[in-house]
Amino acid sequence: MTEADRVAARGAAGAGPPSGTPHVEFIGVDKTYDGVTQVVRDLELTVYAGEFLTLLGPSGSGKTTCLMMLAGFEAPTAGQIRIAGQRVEDVPPRRRNIGMVFQNYALFPHMTVGGNLAFPLEVRRIDRSSAEERVRRALALVRLTGFEDRKPGELSGGQQQRVAIARALVFEPSLVLMDEPLGALDRRLREEMQYEIRRIQRALGVTVVYVTHDQQEAMAMSDRVAVFNRGRIQQVAPPEVLYEEPERGFVATFIGDNNLLHGRVVAARDDICTVDTGSGIVQAFLVAPRAVGDAVTLAIRPERVALAAEPGLYSNEFEAEVDDIAFLGDHLRVRVSVCGSSGFVVKIPNRVGHGGVLEDDRVRIGWTPLDCRALAPDEEDGGSP
């Protein structure tokens, strides 16, 4: 499958290919602090105007460093960063006109809420009356009308978060960066704020670059997600494409659950290949350009694996021993041993006739080749430059 085919497939799936005016461009950006460890490697990323793009990855994957380079608090070791077509490597943060929301809010504790919001307007020498009007509008936008005279210390975490967002927007930047802004909030508040941030972003049409390590948050909020691992972008795609069509093993396991099997290609015809796992032959959908004899990683979603009532329903069918069953309300998580993997998870919906599976039973499980994606093994994509 070629790149063009994949883009076409995405279009068919309803998630259009990215388009529009480039707002932010990372071109061949490298970053190292000590000259040895590459925190960010050969980064190529375009953020389109009005887009909500999330940098997602585990801690230390380089996503926050990218954000800091974009904000101007860190300088790239190599490569270019462009904002609206202009190179910005030599532009200091205060001249970049970017709104930024920090992880711990970074509200000025000695100023009132109104003072915090007026600060960016005062340093821009905007006259008092129109500044007051803008502060009022920004507070209304985050639903904190009338909070001007409170000090940040008198507000709850969620309210402080709203003030931080209002402060990042009050001087009307077209680009807003958010560094794990919801990390300190509890679950319910976090979900509410996800919705709020999305609502505000849509209302204002600003471009947002958002950093998080929480894949659910990334999926819920983003137009596109850039998945980071070890300083490299693994895949950039809309959430549904990342879930349905991961291109690498890391993405397959980081976004939702996936079962990974390892093997070698023994035959390939069009998109379908035959893989020998050493303890079973599997038919799989070939994602990475792999030839016969190459090592591949197979990714199979637990919910796409079925208990086969009778043989012959699936082209991939195996007898497996049930090691463990966990009842999770709406579904059962069944762990089985199959094709050399002992932690293979099958997710069975909790509905009538889920089979009465018991531990130590031998069951027949199956999946279609299209639900089994043959990816390049991870060792190759993280590799040294």
The reply to whether 78 sits near another protein by the rule CB under 8 A is no
Distance (Å, whole) CA 168 – CA 67: 15
Q: How far is the CB of 177 from another protein (least distance, A)?
A: 8
Distance CA 78, CA 85 (A): 18
128 belongs to the binding site for another protein (CB under 8 A) = no
Q: Which residues contact 144 (CB under 8 A, 6 or more apart)?
A: 113, 159, 162, 163, 166
Among 92, 289, 293, 329, binds another protein (CB under 8 A): 92
Q: Which residues from 16-75 bind another protein, rule CB under 8 A?
A: 71-73
Q: Which stretch binds another protein (CB under 8 A): 118-126, 194-202, 263-271, 291-299?
A: 118-126
Q: Residues in contact with another protein, total (CB under 8 A)?
A: 26
Q: Using CB under 8 A, which of 17, 21, 110, 195 touches another protein?
A: 110
- Rank residues 97 and 253 by Cβ distance to another protein and give the closer one: 97
Angle at 296 between CA 8 and CA 254, to 5 degrees: 70
Find the shortest distance in angstroms from Cβ 124 to another protein: 6
* Other beta carbons within 10 Å of 6: 16
Which CB, 135 or 227, lies closer to another protein? 135
Q: Which of 57, 114, 120, 238 binds another protein (CB under 8 A)?
A: 120
- Of 98-106, 234-242, 266-274, 356-364, the segment contacting another protein by CB under 8 A is 98-106
Is 100 a residue that touches another protein (CB under 8 A)?
Answer: yes
The footprint of another protein on residues 155-214 (CB under 8 A) is 167, 171
Q: Which residues contact 336 (CB under 8 A, 6 or more apart)?
A: 320, 321, 322, 323, 344, 345, 346, 363, 365
Q: Smallest gap, in angstroms, from Cβ of residue 142 to another protein?
A: 16
Q: Which stretch in 45-53, 106-114, 201-209, 256-264 sits in contact with another protein by CB under 8 A?
A: 106-114
**Given the rule CB under 8 A, which of 108-116, 216-224, 240-248, 326-334 is the region that contacts another protein?**
108-116
Choose one: 13-21, 88-96, 233-241, 323-331; the region binding another protein (CB under 8 A): 88-96
Structure tokens at 258: 């996936």
State which residue, 154 or 379, has the beta carbon closest to another protein.
154
Instruction: Give Rg (Cα) of the chain.
Output: 24
Q: What are the C-alpha distances in Å from 212 to residues 55, 102, 202?
A: 6, 12, 19
Binding residue for another protein, selected from 13, 78, 123, 326, defined by CB under 8 A: 123
Task: Dump strand ranges (E) for the chain.
Answer: 22-32, 38-48, 52-56, 78-83, 86-87, 98-101, 175-179, 207-212, 224-229, 232-237, 259-269, 272-276, 281-286, 295-300, 306-307, 316-327, 331-338, 341-349, 362-367, 372-375
Instruction: Give CA–CA dist 230/60, Å, rounded.
Output: 7
Residue 110 or 354: which CB sits closer to another protein? 110
DSSP notation for 193-241:
HHHHHHHHHHHHT-EEEEEES-HHHHHHH-SEEEEEETTEEEEEE-HHH
- Please report whether residue 98 would count as binding another protein according to CB under 8 A: yes
Pairs from 118-121 (Cβ < 8 Å, separation ≥ 24): 119/167, 120/167, 120/170, 120/171, 121/170, 121/171
If one asks whether residue 216 binds another protein (CB under 8 A), the answer comes out as no
Segment near another protein (CB under 8 A); pick from 89-97, 129-137, 317-325, 373-381: 89-97
Give the binding site for another protein (CB under 8 A): 71-73, 92-100, 102-104, 106-110, 119-120, 123-124, 167, 171
